[in-house]
Structure 1
Amino acid sequence: MPTDKMNGRSIRINRLPATIAAILVTVLLVYFLNFHQEERPAIYGMLRSDNPNKVNLRKMLIAAIQAAQRGGLEVLDVAHSRQLKERSKGKTDEGVNDPFTDADGRSHCVMKQGLQRIFPRVQIFSEEDKEHCRQAHSFDLDPTVLHETAQVPDVEVNAPDVTVWVDPLDATKEYTEELYEYVTTMVCVAVAGRPIIGVIHSPFNGQTAWAWVGNSMSEYLANLHPQHSQKSGDLSPIITVSRSHTAGAKDLARGIFGEDVGLLTAAGAGYKVLQVVANNATAYLHTSKIKKWDICAGDAILHALGGTMTTLNDQLIHYGPDESPVNTEGLLATLERHEEYMDKLAKYRAAHNGKLA
């Protein structure tokens, strides 16, 4: 034990209490840091609102972007493994095989469970809700998914008014055929039945188009939509339709829009909306029933850009929790000239006894 001398006297310094004190301080620091590390997601992401019956839409936007991107990683992983475990869910109304793959299931579990953990009071619908997720998948809110100039205010709405629509893998058939350009993962947030936040993520090019109506949009979406392009009124119509049922699409498009109409066949509702956004098509036409998780995100994005998506009866599509998940009235989606196109469609119908085919 060391000693020190003071005024000629030896003073013994006992290090044992000091050592014990140092150990206690260290233990307390480790406990404090670990405790707050465990709590950090709730604090950093503010996963729990002061009012559990409210939903912060800024946080919902962040979570929607992350969910779509996380789902996209699962889609990529399965594609790279080539272990698709494909099976059929049956036939579509057009008689086309409706496949399901391991990517659909894995993306669904990551997207839905991740969103549900953060927003347990919000109603979330996913295309693959029948799938059982064996393990919990989650993520913590990461505001860095927003670009620095994004205008995303803290807005709260009532949780019962919010409905989320999730498409874990749009264009599964094309995914199995390795036509990856059509594949997207999508999330849409509707408030009181109206779509206000839309996210369309393209896993194979890594780009995410998102928009919050009246607030902001992703830089990719802003760049995809040319601000000073030639007005669509100066162009002959180019109509994008599904490649899975194109047999009579050309004749129908010509009948509605004239002989000079162009036809862009494509797959995936998300992809087709982005073709309208990019002015590669002047309208997206769908004449049969379609699920709302296929179209809600695109509806929100078009609305944010000043565009329109309606049924073929010119009615807005509602996405509330009590609504049917199926839109049976077809759709027309445009950035411009919507009323003009609806007039043409109405005239065609009148000339064909109310029928489109």
Structure 2
Amino acid sequence: MAPMGIRLSPLGIGVFCLLGLGVLYHVYSGFLTWRIPSFLLGERGEDTVDLRELLAVSVKAAQLGGVEVKAVRESNKLNENLKGKTREGADDKMTRGDLLSNKKMASLIKNSFPGVQVNTEEHLDEEDKESSNWDHTLPDEIKDLIKHPKLVPAESITIWIDPLDATHEYTENLINYVTTMVCVAVDGKPIIGVIHKPFTGYTAWAMVEEGSNTKRRDSYNEEFPNIIVSRSHSGKVKEVTLQSFGNQTKIISAGGSGYKVLSLLDVTGNEQETADVYVHITYIKKWDICAGNAILNALGGHMTNLKGEEIIYTGSDGNEGGLLASIGVDHNALVEKLALKISPK
């Protein structure tokens, strides 16, 4: 007796195929939903954040912090304290301006986006946190530039706050070096940067792949660049850069990482020195550099360690490999000239 078989009518075959396609679609679409970030799917859930809103609250936070920084300096009641020594042996100072600015900035961001990680230079106890909130209104300049929501998972975000960059200069009343800064990193990559100058009122901001309210300069001197460095250890950098680029190279000593990044950009009318390259040869905290990194990236520039490697803004709060920042010049050529001559410590 011949084995029995199952015969399907043409209608049965069609139904079977449709069922199979339905199963495959369900599995495959589920796979896509799991694999593709929500901001690419364009669907906002409870665990996603609109980067446009993060940009807006970051600008507001930096400016609110700047109000505190300016008021404390003008009152001349800094309540200056010494936190310790930096690795270079310089005094690591903290003032009432640092603390009040940090309180304003961190409270606003944490209250507005409680699901994201916030790293800030000064500690903020829960009982010290203010009840300030943001109404989620987007300023016209942001809506005009970034017209659609940019959604990312909240768990992928790390925010870095520097409530008062250039504290040492702040205590010396060298106020033009002082900035407040906020950076938003997504999966460790700097995406949003805000640098605010409290004593001029100037604010630079940018979002990678979306735009910026500032721009690069029209030209840069690549052969004999003006190189901006920290006031605390300009001697060693001066020696190395003169060997690398020649005696016509100009060394600018300045305070504050935010100020140094702005020196690479077109910020005419804001009492800002002009440089072509920013070099830092030692350890530096990530809240000092993340905002500038994001702005440079958004404008087609670069900020790397001295080996040309990208800096990752997760994990520890320090960058060990030195710093090289540029825009409008061949960054890789700079790495080749400097990496072998400057040994980070």
TM tier, smaller: 0.7 to 0.9
The structural deviation recorded for 1:281 is: 1.2
Contact 2:322 / 2:344 at 8 angstroms: preserved in 1? no
Matches within 5 A, 1:265-344: 265-278=253-266, 280-320=274-314, 323-335=315-327, 336-344=329-337
Contact 2:224 / 2:246 at 8 angstroms: preserved in 1? no
CA distance in 2, matches of 1:154, 1:113: 24
Equivalent position amino acid for 1:310 in 2: T
Contact 1:286 / 1:332 at 8 angstroms: preserved in 2? yes
Choose which of 160, 166, 177 in structure 1 pairs with 2:172: 177
Could you state the TM-score of these two structures normalised by the residue count of structure 2? 0.81
Give the aligned CA root-mean-square deviation in angstroms.
2.0
The structural deviation recorded for 1:238 is: 1.1
**Are 2:101 and 1:113 aligned?**
no
Could you state the TM-score of these two structures normalised by the residue count of structure 1? 0.78
Contact 2:181 / 2:195 at 8 angstroms: preserved in 1? yes
Aligned to 1:165: 160
Aligned to 1:348: 341
The structural deviation recorded for 1:143 is: 2.1
CA distance in 2, matches of 1:261, 1:56: 44
The DSSP-based 3-state class of the residue aligned with 2:264 is: helix
Q: What is the number of equivalent residue pairs in this alignment?
A: 295
Aligned to 2:234: 246
CA distance in 2, matches of 1:172, 1:145: 33
The DSSP-based 3-state class of the residue aligned with 2:261 is: helix
**Are 2:225 and 1:237 aligned?**
yes
The DSSP-based 3-state class of the residue aligned with 2:242 is: helix
Aligned to 1:72: 66
Taking a change above 3 Å as real, the CA distance of residues 182 and 341 of structure 1, as seen in their structure-2 partners, is same
Equivalent position amino acid for 1:333 in 2: A
Contact 2:102 / 2:124 at 8 angstroms: preserved in 1? no
Contact 1:186 / 1:198 at 8 angstroms: preserved in 2? yes
Equivalent position amino acid for 1:99 in 2: K
Equivalent position amino acid for 2:154 in 1: A
Question: Over alpha carbons, which structure has the higher Rg?
Answer: 1
The structural deviation recorded for 1:145 is: 6.8
CA distance in 1, matches of 2:178, 2:97: 11
CA distance in 1, matches of 2:256, 2:341: 26
CA distance in 2, matches of 1:158, 1:193: 13
CA distance in 1, matches of 2:210, 2:204: 14
